[in-house]
Amino acid sequence: MEYDVAVIGAGPAGASAARNAALKGLSVVVIEKQAVPRMKPCAGLISNKALQELDFDLPEELTAQKIKGVKLVDRDFHGFTEKTSRVIGRTVKRSEFDAYLTEKAREAGAEVKDSTRLINFREENQRILLDTSQGQIKARFLVGADGVYSRTAKISGIRKKWKRWDLGFTLYTDLPLEEPVESIDPEVAELHCVSYPFSLGWLFHHESYLNIGIGTSKLVDKKSIKVFHQWLDRLCQQKNIPLGEYKTQGYYLPAGGFKRTITGGRVYLVGDAAGFVDSFSGEGIYFALKSGRFIAEEIARGMEQNRIEQIGLRYTNKCYQDFLKEFRLSLAVAIFLGKKVVPFQFVRYNPFLVHSIVNIMENTGGYGTMLKEIGLKFPQMVTRVAQGKFGAQKL
């Protein structure tokens, strides 16, 4: 059988591309190397803007914790919380969330072959011939949704290797919760300024554990393990969280903010494979879902109009018009907030920063507004920091 579209990877990007393409009447096969449900290292916070990208509701039982607010904390553990009456995101177990998305792709008509690894492919007579661990597959178009280490990107030659500044680095641990911790509001996602370049810490509440980690850049990944352990020790002391033996996990993820080639011939990259991750927050699921939908729309349009050669260009334009500006601004914020001592102190005296993050999670504002406000309020911010230092009333 020859498929219209073969999708490599059953993460959010692959599941979204597959579902949207199948809903448009295309024949689709998804090839996933692991057995579904599969484990995915992640902090598991799904913002409302990501949930709004879905054309179905997420079942309640997949939510570990409803998130209604954000707390931005400086390196001295002074923070500012904005809590709303709305649900602005949810924490989920990625294995369950991704398996549900894959099931929705299957329900729309996509065939899912899990425990099947893409080994190689070549383009021949306007067809892609794929060699997988379970035999050969033929398709007219190939969507590489195979994550940060995308084999599709390598084989196609779209990207042989990431450059050092293209990658972020994350370290995290899951701390089991035997009883509620008084100093933590489960409905509030905490973001911490960590005193290390490009770094941001997080603490997200799941049903029976806390996911605590830091995101930084590959440029400075060498010392980051020490930084993480020291920060985690201080955090747990501050919050009275018992810290016994814990397991630290480290993973790379792409950093958005750079314009990269994401297509080649009949091959298109989506999600992490394309480098679509917000550098400040580390959010990637929203962009994975959206780029998956975009490629499905463009393949269907190209086939309908018999303008196959336009698919790659239209897809690239659509993604970069939608994400690039925000990615660049978020990179600027990551550099500004995640660097040295003075900007950290802005956090506790300037509630608008945390308000901007709530807006970003709900898609009612972006990094542009945040940076504009920083620019406008800069003199006032500096005054507040100075007053704070000399004992004036703190917010």
Ligand X SMILES: Cc1cc2nc3c(=O)[nH]c(=O)nc-3n(C[C@H](O)[C@H](O)[C@H](O)COP(=O)(O)OP(=O)(O)OC[C@H]3O[C@@H](n4cnc5c(N)ncnc54)[C@H](O)[C@@H]3O)c2cc1C
Contact map string, positions 166 to 205, toward ligand X, x by CB under 6 A = ----x-x---------------------------------
Residue in 5, 6, 7, 10 binding ligand X, rule: CB under 6 A: 10
Closest to 272 in 3D by CA, of 159, 103, 120, 118: 159
Report d(CA 123, CA 32) in Å as an integer. Answer: 20
Q: How far is the CB of 340 from ligand X (least distance, A)?
A: 25
Report d(CA 194, CA 217) in Å as an integer. Answer: 13
Closest to 338 in 3D by CA, of 260, 267, 261, 282: 282
By CB under 6 A, is residue 43 in contact with ligand X? yes
By CB under 6 A, is residue 246 in contact with ligand X? no
Number of H helices, E strands in the chain: 10, 18
Part of the chain binding ligand X (CB under 6 A), chosen from 39-47, 176-184, 229-237, 309-317: 39-47
- Of the pair 110, 385, the CB lying nearest ligand X is at 110
3-state secondary structure of 266: coil
Q: How far is the CB of 34 from ligand X (least distance, A)?
A: 5
Residue in 5, 11, 121, 303 binding ligand X, rule: CB under 6 A: 11
Q: Which residue is nearest to ligand X (CB)?
A: 284
Residue in 142, 285, 303, 357 binding ligand X, rule: CB under 6 A: 285
By CB under 6 A, is residue 8 in contact with ligand X? yes
By CB under 6 A, is residue 146 in contact with ligand X? yes
Which tokens sit at 74? 């400086």
Between CA 85 and CA 90, with CA 86 as vertex, the angle to 5 degrees is 125
Q: Are 338 and 215 in contact (CB under 8 A)?
A: no
Please, is 102 exposed, middle or buried when counting C-beta atoms within 10 Å of its C-beta (0-12, 13-18, 19+)?
buried
By CB under 6 A, is residue 294 in contact with ligand X? no
Q: Are 110 and 8 in contact (CB under 8 A)?
A: no
Q: How far is the CB of 395 from ligand X (least distance, A)?
A: 28
Residue in 7, 21, 29, 45 binding ligand X, rule: CB under 6 A: 45
By CB under 6 A, is residue 271 in contact with ligand X? yes
Report d(CA 288, CA 285) in Å as an integer. Answer: 5
Site residues (vs ligand X, CB under 6 A): 8-14, 31-34, 38, 40-45, 117-118, 145-147, 151, 170, 172, 213, 251, 253, 271-273, 277, 282-285, 288
